[in-house]
Structure 1
Amino acid sequence: MSDPARPTPTGFHEGELAVQRLAGVTKDAARLSGMLAPARLRGGASGFLGERTFAAVTARDATGTLWISPLTGPPGFLHVASPTALDVRAVPAEGDPLHGLPADQPAGLIVVEFAARRRLRINGTLTASDADGLRVDVEQMYGNCPQHIRPRRLRPARAAGAAQVRRAAALDADDTALVRGADTFLIGTAHPTRGNDASHRGGPAGFVRVEDGGLWWPDYEGNNMFNTLGNLRADPTAALVFFDFAAGRTLHLSGRAEVEWGAPGAPGDDGGTGRRVRFTPRRVVAGRLLPLLADGPAAPAPAGPRPAR
């Protein structure tokens, strides 16, 4: 449970600052530090949340393993209970690695509207978790730019459920094909004192490579805050979830990730940043667990990097 007597930390933590220095964007990032101030759920943010049907949460299961899992429901399933509390009237599906996740732990949320290419990040403490939903005491909230979001419309569907879930320690051929065909995934990371974070990653199909049982992807230019890479600098624990939006399949991975720095423009450096993230999966959960399906093919992606072959 969060301690009301303890002030919420503000500003960038040491991992974010270190990555910003390495990327040479310290001054640019400093101008955004006000976005990390304690949040109040009001006005436009409250309206945006109330209309959404898709979110994802980064948290730990009962064994302490970090995962990121989708949360879906009709408009209104994300309910602003107070300026500092968000009720989620949904839980991860049966068979999802975060089904039955324990309360009293850090939680990171990302709320995405794919069709309009909008997203909002919320970080705080999961103070309640039961069969009816979750409550998050909100500490940080800020929007991210729309770049790299592939526009698509999603409609409600029925997930196949836990009976068709596969749990393993490594990717199989179907998992590899899903990753190699993906234009979207979500990543969950953690910081020892700042809590958990959920973030979106997108690019052209094929931007995530699979090699020797692991994954890597180029890091594209973003808002220069480096929340995800900063967390990985402090703690390499990471969780990924990939989606097959046509079939309702999800691929959950939990493992470790590291940021590799090289010369901009090297082979595979699609975004020209000289950065890539390499991920080693340790646990795999795969199945038809997404209760949403794409209503037709995704719209063409906005102009952006193309994977180098």
Structure 2
Amino acid sequence: MGRFHEGEQQLQARVHPALPKRMARTAEIALRDFMPDQHRDFFALLPTLVVGSVDDAGRPWASMLAGKPGFVTSPDPVTLQVSAKPAPGDMLAQNLKQNAQLGILGLQPETRRRNRMNGRVTHLQDDGFTVHVEQSFGNCPQYIQARLPRLVGAPAEPPVKPEDSVLSPRAALMLAETDTLFIATHAKDEGVDVSHRGGKPGFVRVEQRAGFTQLTLPDFRGNNFFNTLGNIALDSRAGLLVVNYDSGDLLQITGQAEIVWDGPEVERFQGALRLLRLRVEEGRILQGALPIRWSQPAYAMQLLETGSW
């Protein structure tokens, strides 16, 4: 039977004292320890897969794998097989180990469908890895920008540009211009999660502080699961992934996160219920890492009721 963990329940209770009880009933239906056939078939259609992992220091990282549709398969309801390897320099290459916890997000931008699965690595193969399902659930299509993917030639080994706590102008621009990012979090004994965030270009604020870069993004109305923020309530570390849909570049960042519940900044950002703030610690740009390019976006209708910085 599905359940929400302590951090998720804390945030639900902060929204309304009665919400944890109501969401507990939802969890019994929505959170599964297996993938329904619809999800299994869905993963097999995708040319990309977003993966959240944790390094040896306990820091979350978000990654994206790519391949021809069919590179992800599910031989049974509790198993997902991935026939793809991380791009050189991707932190996932270091974090993929036997019994490692992973968060997995399958997202099909052109239809705005997405499904999530969290589990553990059971096998490492030369061409990929196998994950045993611990939690599976679907997500709504809100805030997803519709894009059509197009496979291009396999990239050469991508140059890797390290980033430190003060992001380079190039990395800062990727964040400031993006309309989509992915965030990986984890909590001890509760596994790894990776989720999608979308907004108008400019929904991520980038500020250069003394010795570090600070990122701030809105948290809009959602499903009250609080998977991401619930993990952050228990472990404040988080990892972000930004994709350049024109060049195939990836920007990976890890740092310390905090939730801003109220105040003038929250009130000023149209549509925000709260804010998520990240102090950057480390990152990297993988140039041209993905063998896919995407069409120009059709923005989600929910963005009409949201702002930007």
After TM superposition, the score normalised by the length of structure 1 is 0.90
Distance 1:246 1:163, change over 3 A: closer
From 26, 37, 40, give the equivalent of 1:32.
Answer: 26
Task: Work out the percentage of aligned pairs sharing the same amino acid.
Answer: 34
SS at match of 1:146: coil
Aligned pairs (5 A) from 1:104-119: 104-119=99-114
Q: Distance in 2 between matches of 1:217 and 1:127?
A: 35
Partner of 1:195: 191
SS at match of 1:297: coil
Partner of 1:243: 243
Kindly indicate whether the alpha-carbon contact (under 8 Å) linking 1:96 and 1:162 is maintained by their aligned counterparts in 2: no
Aligned pairs (5 A) from 1:209-248: 209-212=205-208, 213-248=213-248
Q: Distance in 1 between matches of 2:173 and 2:131?
A: 35
Distance 1:202 1:84, change over 3 A: same
Q: Deviations over 1:133-181 (max 9, x none)?
A: 1110001111100000000011112465545110121311011111011
Kindly indicate whether the alpha-carbon contact (under 8 Å) linking 2:249 and 2:285 is maintained by their aligned counterparts in 1: yes
Partner of 2:179: 183
Partner of 1:88: 82
Kindly indicate whether the alpha-carbon contact (under 8 Å) linking 1:267 and 1:308 is maintained by their aligned counterparts in 2: no
Give the aligned length: 299
Distance 1:218 1:175, change over 3 A: same
Post-superposition offset of 1:308: 4.3
SS at match of 2:301: coil
From 60, 68, 79, give the equivalent of 2:73.
Answer: 79
Q: Distance in 1 between matches of 2:2 and 2:25?
A: 14
Post-superposition offset of 1:287: 2.2
Partner of 1:300: 299
Q: Deviations over 1:60-100 (max 9, x none)?
A: 24565421110111121111022211101112112212125
Please, what is the CA RMSD of the aligned residues?
Answer: 2.0
Partner of 1:6: none
Distance 1:217 1:37, change over 3 A: closer
Post-superposition offset of 1:55: 1.0
Partner of 1:3: none
Kindly indicate whether the alpha-carbon contact (under 8 Å) linking 1:185 and 1:200 is maintained by their aligned counterparts in 2: yes
1:168 aligns with 2:163: yes
Partner of 1:148: 143
Distance 1:258 1:209, change over 3 A: same
Where in structure 2 are there 5+ consecutive unaligned residues?
Answer: none
After TM superposition, the score normalised by the length of structure 2 is 0.90
Kindly indicate whether the alpha-carbon contact (under 8 Å) linking 1:61 and 1:102 is maintained by their aligned counterparts in 2: no
Which of the pair is proportionally richer in helix? Answer: 2
Kindly indicate whether the alpha-carbon contact (under 8 Å) linking 1:125 and 1:136 is maintained by their aligned counterparts in 2: yes
Partner of 2:8: 16
Distance 1:168 1:266, change over 3 A: closer
